[in-house]
Chains A and B, each alone.
Chain A
Amino acid sequence: MSNAILVVGGGFSGLTAAIEAAELGHDVYIVEKSPWLGGRVAQLNKYFPKLCPPSCGLEIQFQRIRKNPRIHCLTMANVIGVNGSKGNYTVRVRLEPRHTPPHNVDFTFLASTLEGEVASEFDLGLSKRKALYKAMPFAYPARYVLDTTTLSKADNARIAGKASLDPSEEAREIELSVGAIVVATGWKPYDVTNLSNLGAGSVKNCISNMQLERLASPFGPTQGKIVRPTDGRTPHSVAFVQCAGSRDQNHLNYCSYICCMATLKHCLYFAEQHPTTQITVFYIDLRAPGRYVNVLEKVQALPNVHFIKGKVANVTQSDGDCCCIQAEDAIRGEKLTLNYDMVVLATGMQPTLATEKCPIPVAVDADGFIAGGEEAGIFACGCAVMPLDVTRSAQSGTAAALKAVQTVKGR
């Protein structure tokens, strides 16, 4: 019997659940597969509702974690097996080697001298990273990672003999005893290579909405300047393609909820940086839930933002690395073929469990969202359950924490 709680996933909802449970006096283990906490929110430039940078909300969460000895963070960790039953689970966790010391060592200089490079996962392929890297300045834990597969021969010679690096460190497995499990495995942007009529990721300067977040982020590939990835030029015309893969039985058969608001937010990014850029948003329906309608009204009032009802169904490359899109303006009944300097696909949220195997015994529905599991003391929260914005993710994290606490209380 254990009254500890396992939280799988260190994104916004997982962190919230972990902190809430720990602050109620429970031991909490956070198992996060990436090297740092923060999840998708950390990749954003700004997030709703207040349009603050991610450091703002995450910083507070990290402070609370740092100060709470009951929270144990396991990064680069994956759950590989779960045994037992409600109130008494034994969880096996595999810890991938980080090859860097447990304390905070600043490797900035050493990293800059390495030559091996690979496309950055954190920047969604928009930049290159070195073998020794830290994705964001406020990363928690503030530790570098050494990716030995990216080291070149010269790099190997350069790091040889560094006492603080251990390239031979191996993966370990540990066992945790917990009474309840919170599953906060989150989401990933829908894979654009599936969208064959929207260019399948091969059209230059046709990027996804998450890639635009990275472009706009001050610690992103362009230090926050929104420019065309191919030539670094300011785009004079931009088209947003709503429902790119969402509400589509061939892709994601549901509304991803956040893409409309994300696009409206992106219009505000442009209005701030390039107020003369002409923006056209192609939509089927615009969904601005609750108070977010204020944002919609604000964006609609912008002089250079135009809305056209009609889904973009064809994106091809045109001259000068521009993007040619085709859509029918469904109100005027006219088929438009237009060129834009840049096209942003407002791709949706796909639950991580739709494509990745999870050893936790929990049922998922046809779309990969978690359905049920509560009777077994397994509580899901965040975008693993349904598409949510950050606020609601946090709320669902708190809810899951309260349920988990009640499951283990008094044991």
Chain B
Amino acid sequence: MAQCTLKPDIDFTRKLTLAGGDSLKKCYQCATCAVACPLAPANAPYPRKEMVWASWGLKDKLTSDVDIWLCHNCGNCSDLCPRGANPADVMSAARNVVYQDLTAPKCVGSLMSKPSGLPILFGIPAILWFIVWWIRSLYNDGNWFPVRPDGHIVFGDIFYGDYTIDPIFMLTFFGALFILCRGAYKLWQSFKPDGAVAVIGEKGCWLCHLWHVLVDEVIFATRFDDCHDGPKTGKVTQTRRVGHTVLVWAFVTLAFVTAVVALGHWGGKIFPIIEITTPLHPMHLVKIIANVGALMLVVGLILLTIRRIAENSETHKSNYYDWYLLGIIWAVALTGIFSQVFRLAEAVGPAFLVYYLHLVFVWMLFAYLPWSKLGHLFYRTVALLYVRMYGRKG
């Protein structure tokens, strides 16, 4: 047998422990978890091997492991785990460590990993939008809370789209997208084993595979139901399919509305026929769709939050990354809804303040996306695409 020397990385194990995997040392490698997981393939199943890598501190193995992304965190393994080692939490912690370290600037990942980083993360957009507010107030004769002569509030009077919101958010959005793509590429490279991979059987084109991934994951979220096909645990596991799907579709709806408004606004400068001016009338079709999207967002959030709170905390612990993401989406949804409510109620002070907070939270959601749990949107898709290209269903 070939000799090999393991080089345990104790710091890495400590990092995993802090990222939500504090139970990993309890594992005694009984391999119950690999059977408990209905998603794990027969060949090289997970998460037992990840558990031993985690406790041995084999950083390279774990961070380049495609399987940590295939786990959908149903918690069957933790329910059946005889030692309370909670493999599902350790898998989640491994993903968190990847969020933290995958892409530069890594200082953001470090700030995103703990609550003490929040003031700085909040402070950056808070100062940014405050400067915008201050500069724009000078254009309104020093008035920080301008009201139209007819009593209406127009947020564009302060946060003017063309020169403030649009360029800043476009820069943020495409910047984040660039960082995400770089991270996804890095992940893809790390998934590849040394040497060549022989694929037996028919190979599909990557676009077809991507389409199937999106159908299974986004449109129907069927993997969540597959999660429940494992051995009987004797415990009730609440489904996440409804909450997650509603939330995803709320985001799709809101992204669609944003795109329509942006197209109407910028395109309207060239083709006046499609011009859209904000604020939209409450009965405008686009506005109605937007409000339906906001409602879906709240419904999805309520379902997912209730599930997290109701979960057995002994075997399904929610970590900081989980709560940060839920928290930031809650903040975006509530400030968005209330800025509209205050605007229509013509409560000028609260309206501008809440809208300002809304901009801060939306910026946080997008700018820090590559280091937040929302990164799974990209990274999990990449992992699913990777395994499908090599003949696995994921």
Check A333 against B44 for contact (C-beta < 8 Å): yes
Residue of A nearest to B37 (CB): A335
Query: A residues within 8 A CB of B34?
Result: 328, 335
Cross-interface CB contact of A313 among B29, B36, B43, B83, cutoff 8 Å: B36
Known contacts A250-B82, A328-B48, A334-B43; A314/B31 CB under 8 A: no
Known contacts A284-B28, A326-B35, A328-B48; A335/B42 CB under 8 A: yes
Query: B residues within 8 A CB of A330?
Result: 29-31, 48
Q: Does B237 contact A (CB under 8 A)?
A: no
Query: A residues within 8 A CB of B30?
Result: 243, 247, 284, 310-311, 330
Check B32 against A333 for contact (C-beta < 8 Å): no
Check B42 against A249 for contact (C-beta < 8 Å): no
Q: Does B161 contact A (CB under 8 A)?
A: no
Check A247 against B42 for contact (C-beta < 8 Å): no
Query: A residues within 8 A CB of B33?
Result: 313
| Nearest CB of B to A330, in Å | 4
Query: A residues within 8 A CB of B48?
Result: 328, 330
Report the separation of the CA atoms of residues A248 and B26 in the bound assembly, to the nearest whole angstrom: 12
Check B82 against A196 for contact (C-beta < 8 Å): no
Check B31 against A249 for contact (C-beta < 8 Å): no
Query: A residues within 8 A CB of B44?
Result: 333-334
Q: Does B327 contact A (CB under 8 A)?
A: no
Known contacts A196-B232, A196-B234, A200-B232; A249/B83 CB under 8 A: yes
Known contacts A328-B48, A333-B44; A313/B232 CB under 8 A: no
Check B35 against A328 for contact (C-beta < 8 Å): yes
Check B231 against A197 for contact (C-beta < 8 Å): yes
Check B231 against A333 for contact (C-beta < 8 Å): no
* Contact residues of B: prevailing secondary structure: loop
Q: Does B62 contact A (CB under 8 A)?
A: no
Q: Does A337 contact B (CB under 8 A)?
A: yes
Q: Does A327 contact B (CB under 8 A)?
A: yes
Check B32 against A313 for contact (C-beta < 8 Å): yes
Check A249 against B35 for contact (C-beta < 8 Å): no
Report the separation of the CA atoms of residues A312 and B32 in the bound assembly, to the nearest whole angstrom: 7
Check A313 against B35 for contact (C-beta < 8 Å): yes
| Nearest CB of A to B227, in Å | 15
| Nearest CB of A to B370, in Å | 32
Report the separation of the CA atoms of residues A194 and B233 in the bound assembly, to the nearest whole angstrom: 10
Report the separation of the CA atoms of residues A335 and B42 in the bound assembly, to the nearest whole angstrom: 4
Known contacts A249-B83, A310-B30, A328-B34; A197/B233 CB under 8 A: yes
How many chain B residues touch A (CB < 8 A): the figure is: 26
Cross-interface CB contact of B49 among A200, A249, A284, A333, cutoff 8 Å: A333
B237-278 vs A: 1/0 string, CB under 8 Å? 000000000000000000000000000000000000000000
Check B234 against A197 for contact (C-beta < 8 Å): yes
Check A327 against B231 for contact (C-beta < 8 Å): no
Check A334 against B231 for contact (C-beta < 8 Å): no
| Nearest CB of B to A313, in Å | 4
Report the separation of the CA atoms of residues A228 and B30 in the bound assembly, to the nearest whole angstrom: 28
Check A335 against B41 for contact (C-beta < 8 Å): yes
Q: Does B354 contact A (CB under 8 A)?
A: no
A229-250 vs B: 1/0 string, CB under 8 Å? 0000000000000010001111
Check B231 against A328 for contact (C-beta < 8 Å): no
- Give the most central of A243, A311, A326: most B CB within 10 Å: A311
Query: B residues within 8 A CB of A328?
Result: 31, 34-35, 45, 48
Q: Does B40 contact A (CB under 8 A)?
A: yes
Query: B residues within 8 A CB of A200?
Result: 232, 234
Query: A residues within 8 A CB of B389?
Result: none
Query: B residues within 8 A CB of A251?
Result: 82
Q: Does B350 contact A (CB under 8 A)?
A: no
- Chain A residues 204 to 252 lying within 8 A of chain B, measured CB to CB, are 243, 247-251
| Nearest CB of B to A3, in Å | 47
Report the separation of the CA atoms of residues A310 and B48 in the bound assembly, to the nearest whole angstrom: 10
Query: A residues within 8 A CB of B40?
Result: 335
Check A249 against B84 for contact (C-beta < 8 Å): yes
| Nearest CB of A to B331, in Å | 38
B138-165 vs A: 1/0 string, CB under 8 Å? 0000000000000000000000000000
Q: Does B290 contact A (CB under 8 A)?
A: no
| Nearest CB of B to A109, in Å | 47
| Nearest CB of B to A329, in Å | 8
Residue of B nearest to A246 (CB): B82
- B: residues with CB less than 8 A from A are 28-36, 40-45, 48-49, 80, 82-84, 230-234
Q: List 13 A-B contacts (CB under 8 A).
A: A197-B80, A200-B232, A247-B30, A247-B82, A249-B82, A284-B29, A328-B34, A328-B45, A329-B31, A333-B44, A335-B41, A335-B45, A337-B42
- A: residues with CB less than 8 A from B are 194, 196-197, 200, 243, 247-251, 284, 309-314, 326-330, 333-337
| Other A-B pairs, 19, CB within 8 Å; known A247-B82, A311-B32 | A197-B80, A197-B232, A200-B234, A243-B82, A247-B28, A248-B82, A310-B31, A311-B30, A311-B31, A313-B36, A313-B80, A326-B35, A327-B31, A328-B34, A328-B45, A328-B48, A334-B42, A334-B45, A337-B42
Top 3 nearest A-B pairs (CB, nearest first) are A196-B234, A248-B82, A313-B35
